Amino acid sequence: MGEKIKKIIKIRYILAILILVCVFFIAFNYAKDTAATKEITYNEFINLLEKNQVSKVVIENENLIITPSENNEEYKGKTLFTANINDRNLISKLKEANVKLEWKNTKDNLINIISFSWIIPLVIIFFIWKYIKLKKENKYLLAQIKELTEKKDNNIINDEKSENQ
């Protein structure tokens, strides 16, 4: 019985470690994303555009993802974003400034982000837990089968002894 308790404790520690690893992974990705991105106002974006400090703009449904040019020291190495205001003159301003322009549908990306950061780790943890549980149940069933076959063998031997006497 002591071995079963030790195994249960060991399994719980393994599951706790797996959960902590997943939480750490999610927190690390969040911290990395927040360090590499910065929200700016639309007016700041227009000022950067007028100073030719923008190299690329990705237009999404709700946001503008802005890549600063290499000569921009303030936002070097960061990706900027601001709200996508329906400015009719924006496209012409971007073309005048020779800014690379892309459009992106973010609905698919949101599903991918949710699935990769939450659903897949939880599914992996679930299958590991089921595997450990099945392995434990199989060992328990094998022990019961072994015990029953030993009892059956003992009963057969006892029956043979009683018949011989």
Q: What is the DSSP string of 86-149?
A: --TTHHHHHHHTT-EEEE--HHHHHHHHHIIIIIHHHHHHHHHHHHHHHHHHHHHHHHHHHHHH
DSSP state of 53: -
Residue 136 has pLDDT above 60, yes or no: yes
The per-residue pLDDT for 56 is 92
**Domains recognised in the chain with CATH numbers:** 40-104 (3.30.720.210)
- Mean pLDDT for 46-56 is 89
**127 pLDDT band (50/70/90 cuts)?**
confident
pLDDT-based confidence at residue 165 (cuts at 50, 70, 90):
low
Closest CA to 22 of 113, 116, 131, 108: 116
Q: Which amino acid would we find at residue 147? A: E
Encode pLDDT of 1-36 as tens digits.
Answer: 567 777 778 888 888 888 888 788 888 877 777 777
Mean pLDDT over 145-151 rounds to 80
The pLDDT of residue 142:
77
Whether the pLDDT of residue 101 is over 80: the answer is: yes
Tell me: pLDDT of 120 over 70.
yes
